[in-house]
Amino acid sequence: MQVKLMDLDSGFVIFTEGISNQSVTIKCIIQVNKNMESFLLKFIEPNVKNDCSNKILVTMNRNRSEEMDVFSKRFSLNLNKHLKNYLKERFNWSLNIDTNIEIQDKDNNSYKDAKLEDIINNESLVFAKISIIVNDKECKEFYYPLKKNIPLVDSVNIKNEIRWGLPIVPNIIFTNGCLTDFSYKWYLSDYPTDQKKKHEILPEIPKYSIEIDQNYICEFNIKRIEKENDININDDTKNYSLIFRITLNSEVSPLFDTIYRFNHINESIELSWREDRILIFNRDLELSPELRTNRLKIVTFNILSEIYALTDKALNEMYTNCPKYALNSNYRRSLLARELFDLNADVICLQEVQPCLYESFINLLMEFKGYSSVFHKEYASVSTFFKKEQFRILESETKLFREILKTDYPDIYKEISTKWPMFLESLLDRISTVFQITILENKTTGAIFIFANTHLYYHPFGGHIRILQSKLLMDYVDIYLQKFRSEFPYRDIFPFILGDFNTLGISDARTLLTTGRIASDSTEWTHSMFLKHKQKDKNSEKEQKENAKSDGKNSCNILESNNTGFDFNINNKCVDLLDIKLDEKFKNVHINFKQSNRRVKHADSKGFDCNLYYPFTNKVEKFSGQLDYIYLVEEDGFFEKYNIYLNNYLPYVDEVKLKPVDTLPSPQYPSDHISIGIDISITKK
């Protein structure tokens, strides 16, 4: 008998090659239709007929070189088990069932003496014949179309807590597929608590489910869900489950849908000071057409490394005020997702970004929000995100500070070997500071923006290192500035330097950046005499961070040289865009938004500059101060050509509002740093 399309049963057998090309994923999706159920009912006399799913799914991962007869035996064992489970659930009955699978061509010739890879490569094979044998004698054959190398969902994990009101970011592992091969829907299901498991794969969408989102990432906005569906969600979160449906775009049959149910929804987090600052930063401003056209919203945010947040030092000394549950990675990711979701800046620079967090969480979230990004896995720690609809990327590069010093500054390197010998011997190779350059072109105005994202060395007695890093960073930016000035002589080019500088307002590194020079007898050069050095095999930079933001009382007094400093000059100086008295220093700077009642008296860090907008950007046990900055590089003649309008700031935080925790992170905020940002317009005079 030649099988025709009309003779096929409801289901599919899929063979898809794995990513490594060494494995094959086999999926058998069968719908127990009337034909199959009638055959099985010949052997039983059920007293009950329960409602249950008629979808049977068998998934196997096998080596592509496996012989067909070996695979067939394995497959039969799996399918036998699923059919028996179906009979038990449907009719409360047991049967002696065996199955067999054959792969056939259109003329019903079976392909037996072959390997699994041969089945994938043979285009003439189009059917799977599955024989069901009952009681070792009665047999019926069912035919299913054979699908090859179609995209498959391998697994789904939620990388953050599922919590009312916070974005949900799934991490999907595909076989031979990607995000765009599928469509996504989220449902809220009112599901009895006594039937719940933590999470499970479902054959179909449960009854009494309402659709709440049609995107890969679920925003999970309670007010919107209630409004759009005219419902009132019960406060008892245990009554609900979250359903995630993944549909293969290239196939019509719902049998290809992958449906996950997640049964534990955490309660919402109470609103705090965070919401107010987001609302202020994103409010609609009355700007002239010129200011609106040239408007740019920039944010920098040290998100706090997940590794460091859970170290003994962090738990027992740095973040003692924060409940331990709020330091858990999944909890913090939910808060981080909300913060990045809501900031809505044009450019966002992040620090302390781990590769796994970037790949499986942050980048997915930001791509969904319309951002592209720069991230170099080999130099992991910083990442720059920018809105795709607004910018095109012209170039990017990430370099290690230590490599720049070794290769591009032989004279300084040689002099350091005399002035700071222990630095080269024991510390330099452990410093992971990177300089990340991202050059963007505004698609509307043609203006070019250079963003230098960094995270400078952190030790309280590392001031001399931060001066050196600032010098090299400015030189590095200047190389790109001159390059693009040469390539685009008639374009507006604006370089920004931003990130976590680990420097207070009166630091020598900031002096170098804002004045363009530092003298060899400046105070912080003497830090080289007091910095504690450890042996290479006993220490790493991340371990050394446990000494950061301390008072340094236990540091060893190692006198390396009486003349430890350098006379540094840089080609351009920086304008600190967080200086709220800029308009008094430069007549071409206009600050359109000031918070006159800024509570400077609450900043308890040493060296606080009262001209700075933020009383603190980092607040932990025994430390509070501004460490994060946004600078604009000021070339010669800049203010003769341009006006700066500071339209808005991402508001500072009054520490009184942090109570009862008093420090960061907290149950309401994911990092020990706050995000900082500016809303700026730069126009021609």
pLDDT, tens digit (0-9, with 9 covering 90-100), for 98-125? 999 999 998 889 988 889 999 999 999 9
Give just the sign of the alpha carbon dihedral 280, 283, 289, 292.
positive
Retrieve residue 65's tokens. 């070189």
Confidence of residue 609 (pLDDT cuts 50, 70, 90): low
- pLDDT at residue 608 greater than cutoff 80: no
Domain with CATH 3.60.10.10 in the chain: 273-520+564-684
Confidence of residue 263 (pLDDT cuts 50, 70, 90): confident
Average pLDDT over residues 598-622: 70
Give just the sign of the alpha carbon dihedral 158, 159, 161, 167.
negative
> What b/e sequence results for 540-566 when a residue is b if at least 16 CB atoms lie within 10 Å of its CB, and e otherwise?
eeeebbebbbbebeebeeeebeeebbb
658, burial (CB in 10 Å: exposed 0-12, middle 13-18, buried 19+):
buried
Residues belonging to the chain: 685
Model pLDDT, residue 548:
43
Which residue has tokens 């569906």? 229
Q: How many CA atoms lie within 13 A of 253 on its CB side?
A: 12
Spatial separation of the C-alpha atoms in residues 545 and 278, rounded to whole Å = 30
**What percentage of the chain carries pLDDT values higher than 70?**
90
Model pLDDT, residue 2:
57
| Structural contact between residues 117 and 130, judged by C-beta atoms closer than 8 angstroms | no
Average pLDDT over residues 191-207: 76
pTM of the model: 0.89
Fold adopted by 273-520+564-684: Deoxyribonuclease I; Chain A (3.60.10)
Model pLDDT, residue 535:
53
- pLDDT at residue 177 greater than cutoff 80: yes
Report which DSSP code applies to 250. T
Retrieve residue 60's tokens. 């196997």
- Integer angstrom CA distances of residue 474 from 313, 329, 450, 454, 569: 33, 35, 12, 11, 10
Report which DSSP code applies to 666. B
Average pLDDT over residues 411-418: 96
Model pLDDT, residue 208:
85
Confidence of residue 3 (pLDDT cuts 50, 70, 90): low
Model pLDDT, residue 649:
95
Model pLDDT, residue 559:
38
Spatial separation of the C-alpha atoms in residues 73 and 82, rounded to whole Å = 15
- pLDDT at residue 603 greater than cutoff 50: no
Spatial separation of the C-alpha atoms in residues 48 and 279, rounded to whole Å = 59
- pLDDT at residue 558 greater than cutoff 60: no
- pLDDT at residue 198 greater than cutoff 50: yes
| Structural contact between residues 629 and 510, judged by C-beta atoms closer than 8 angstroms | yes
Average pLDDT over residues 649-678: 95
476-500 pLDDT per residue, tens: 999 999 999 999 999 999 999 999 9
| Structural contact between residues 423 and 533, judged by C-beta atoms closer than 8 angstroms | yes
Confidence of residue 619 (pLDDT cuts 50, 70, 90): very high
Average pLDDT over residues 304-326: 94
- pLDDT at residue 557 greater than cutoff 50: no
Model pLDDT, residue 524:
95
| Structural contact between residues 303 and 336, judged by C-beta atoms closer than 8 angstroms | yes
Model pLDDT, residue 237:
67
How confident is the prediction for the chain on average, in pLDDT?
90
Model pLDDT, residue 595:
55
Average pLDDT over residues 546-559: 40
Average pLDDT over residues 238-261: 93
Angle at which helix 410-419 crosses helix 401-408, to 10 degrees, equals 100
- Integer angstrom CA distances of residue 463 from 315, 404, 528: 26, 19, 8
Cβ partners under 8 Å of residue 333, min gap 6: 159, 160, 161, 169, 357, 361, 670
Helix (H, G, I), strand (E, B) or coil at 407: helix
Q: Which residue has the higher pLDDT, 604 or 423?
A: 423
Model pLDDT, residue 604:
44
- pLDDT at residue 560 greater than cutoff 70: no
- Integer angstrom CA distances of residue 201 from 57, 86, 158, 460, 656: 10, 16, 14, 52, 47
Confidence of residue 597 (pLDDT cuts 50, 70, 90): very low
Model pLDDT, residue 193:
53
Average pLDDT over residues 450-457: 98
Model pLDDT, residue 531:
83
Model pLDDT, residue 73:
95
| Structural contact between residues 134 and 97, judged by C-beta atoms closer than 8 angstroms | yes
Retrieve residue 294's tokens. 């040239």
Spatial separation of the C-alpha atoms in residues 84 and 94, rounded to whole Å = 7
- pLDDT at residue 551 greater than cutoff 50: no
Query: Where does 108-260 have alpha helices with state H?
Result: 116-121, 222-229
Average pLDDT over residues 34-46: 91
Model pLDDT, residue 200:
87
Strand segments (E) across 294-390:
295-302, 347-351, 371-374, 382-387
Name the least confident of 9-13, 131-135, 615-619.
Answer: 9-13
- Integer angstrom CA distances of residue 502 from 232, 339, 510: 47, 22, 10
Average pLDDT over residues 395-407: 98
Confidence of residue 601 (pLDDT cuts 50, 70, 90): very low
**What percentage of the chain carries pLDDT values higher than 90?**
77
Model pLDDT, residue 544:
46
- pLDDT at residue 78 greater than cutoff 90: yes
Model pLDDT, residue 514:
97
Q: How far is CA 123 from the centre of its chain?
A: 41
- pLDDT at residue 549 greater than cutoff 80: no
Average pLDDT over residues 440-458: 98
Which residue has tokens 């350091």? 416
